[in-house]
Amino acid sequence: MTRREYTARVLICLRRVTRQEREAIQAEIDGHMEDHICALLGLGYPPELAEERTLALMGDPAEVGQELNRQYPFRWLAVKWGAIVLMLALALLVARPAWTWAGVVSDNLWNRFAPTHQLDLRELSLEGYVDGKYVRIASDVAEVDLRQTDGGVTMRVYQAGLEVPLAPKTEAWVSVCLYSENPFGETPQIYGDVIDMTGPLGREVTCTFFSGVKRSFTVRGQVRRGEELRFTYEQYGHRFDFSVPLPWGEALS
């Protein structure tokens, strides 16, 4: 065993020390052996014998390492890591409101000027690929621009589509978004369980939400050929009534 190997065997036992403590211990033990070897060389020992004798007098490196390890209780390392985690948590806590505010402003601007960036009916599918073909929820989609404002919040209907335009009865889909008239103002997020959504008498109208999109969604309802999709949306004191023209096109001719 060499001097370097002895120190390495001591250090391998240290499991609760920081990097700086490990380096300090390494320097101290290595320095001790250097002092001893120098003293023996001064007495006329040949270098190999001086190192051999020094190592013999140092004792079992594993025993030394284990005893040293006991002097560094786990709690100090736990305190250090606990402090780091706490600082990170505090930083996140401080950063979160700013992050949320940036999200609100971003949604307001996208929904006012380019809502399809957030949610585009032409790209949506509930089934994904079937027999190698991407199945979209609406085959015919038209751009519309219907807006209603209530209490500083605007609801915008910007797309309308039909599943099977030539059928006497089919599913109609429309894309809807919310934004605040004040770009920096709060816009309510959409939560399915608080929306009061009603359609024409006897007709069911439902909302479909898509993950990661907080202020855009689709409204779906069954319609007969030539009809418009009517729905009422009520949430947080805002109420909007829409009757959305659908892209019947050739189906009416």
Partner 1 sequence: MKKKQSIEHTQLLVLSLLAGEDMYGYQMIMELARRSDRTFEMKEGTLYPVLHGLEKDGYVEAYQQEAPTGRMRKYYHLTRRGGAALKTEAEAWKTYSGAVNAVLRSSPGLNLA
List contacts with partner 1 (CB under 8 A). 10, 24-25, 27-29, 31-32, 34-36, 38-39, 57-61, 63-64, 67-68, 70-72
CB of 60 to partner 1, least distance (A): 8
The answer to whether the Cα torsion of 147, 252, 231, 213 is positive or negative is negative
* Element (DSSP H or E) covering residue 11: helix 3-11
* 39 touches 58 (CB < 8 A): no
CB of 28 to partner 1, least distance (A): 5
CB of 49 to partner 1, least distance (A): 17
Give the nearer residue to partner 1 in terms of CB position, either 28 or 150: 28
Give the nearer residue to partner 1 in terms of CB position, either 70 or 169: 70
Backbone φ and ψ of 77, nearest 5°: -70, -40
* Partners of 177 in the β-ladder: 156, 216
Q: Which residues contact 34 (CB under 8 A, 6 or more apart)?
A: 3
CB of 86 to partner 1, least distance (A): 24
Give the nearer residue to partner 1 in terms of CB position, either 15 or 117: 15
CB of 186 to partner 1, least distance (A): 54
Give the nearer residue to partner 1 in terms of CB position, either 9 or 225: 9
User: Which of 138, 117, 115 has the alpha carbon at shortest distance from 126?
Assistant: 138
What's the rounded Cα separation, in Å, for the pair 73 and 174?
64
CB of 58 to partner 1, least distance (A): 4
- Tell me which residue has tokens 């320095």: 31
Give the nearer residue to partner 1 in terms of CB position, either 11 or 251: 11
- Tell me which residue has tokens 């990661």: 212
Give the nearer residue to partner 1 in terms of CB position, either 28 or 186: 28
Map 161-176 to HEC letters.
EECCCCCCEEEEEEEE
What DSSP letter does each residue of 192-215 carry, written as one string?
Answer: GGG-EEE-STT--EEEE--TT-SS
Give the nearer residue to partner 1 in terms of CB position, either 46 or 59: 59
CB of 74 to partner 1, least distance (A): 13
